[in-house]
Chain A
């Protein structure tokens, strides 16, 4: 399925890096201010779904390089590992573990920990799921 609008066919490719950057920022903000893995993943998926709408799912799959389902299991795997890390390193339970804050030029204070890693897993899972369904619906094979 291709649209006849030149603008709509070409723009998503141009916008792709920007939308992905937006997704990354949304994801990173997530821990103490509104944002997070789920919504970031949706935004990220949208970048590719827009390409699929403009130029067809086949092109979008090529642009994405990774199979959506691969993204999905990597995501679930990362989330699971994050939970287990809390288990192994903490005192039982799916406890959140944090590294000390450190400063990175340009970005500012960085605070890394297993909840963040879990969120990354959610990000990838949601992105894989949404792109799989989005491409699938368009190609009519689910």
Chain B
């Protein structure tokens, strides 16, 4: 299972970087989202990947059942997903407006602020 997750993280990173390097604005955002997901998955796997033992404390007990995964990375990932949601929304509205004002979705057309 860990191996599978490791490969998934790798594939997500590769596709994310590939999309980021395209010239189309929409792919840029897709690339960012994929990279974010790769990071989330990586953090998630830091808590250990277990099956069958949810890290919920049973009623009457004070500690999670033995063999349960560490719940903290899961909580962190949840926060990171929420933040990622907000950022993605902003990024999408931004490219939406950028496309509307410039009438172009080629990243290479956005070089005005760098020109001497």
State the CA gap A86–B96 with chains docked (Å): 42
Q: What's the nearest-Cβ distance from chain B to residue A42, in Å?
A: 9
> Are B82's CB and A137's CB within 8 A?
no
Complex Cα gap A48–B39 (Å): 32
Report the Cα distance A137→B89, complex, angstroms. 10
* Residue of B with least CB distance to A141: B97
A-B contact count (CB 8 A): 12
Interface residues on A, range: under 10
Cβ of B82 and Cβ of A38 under 8 Å apart?
Answer: yes
Q: Say how far A30's CB is from chain B's closest CB, in angstroms.
A: 12
Q: Are A142 and B97 in contact (CB under 8 A)?
A: yes
Closest beta carbon of chain B to A95's beta carbon, Å: 19
**Nearest chain B CB to A1's CB is how many angstroms away?**
14
Residues of A within 8 A of B93 (CB): 133, 136-137, 142
Nearest CB in chain A to that of B57: its residue: A32
CA distance A7 to B3 in the complex (A): 46
CB-nearest residue of chain B to A36: B78
In the complex, A140 Cα to B97 Cα: how many Å?
9
CB A97 to nearest CB in B, in angstroms, measures: 22
**What are 12 inter-chain pairs, A to B, with CB distance below 8 A?**
A38-B82, A129-B86, A133-B89, A133-B93, A136-B93, A137-B92, A137-B93, A137-B96, A140-B100, A142-B93, A142-B96, A142-B97
In the A-B complex, the 5 residue pairs with the closest CB atoms: A142-B93, A133-B89, A38-B82, A137-B93, A133-B93
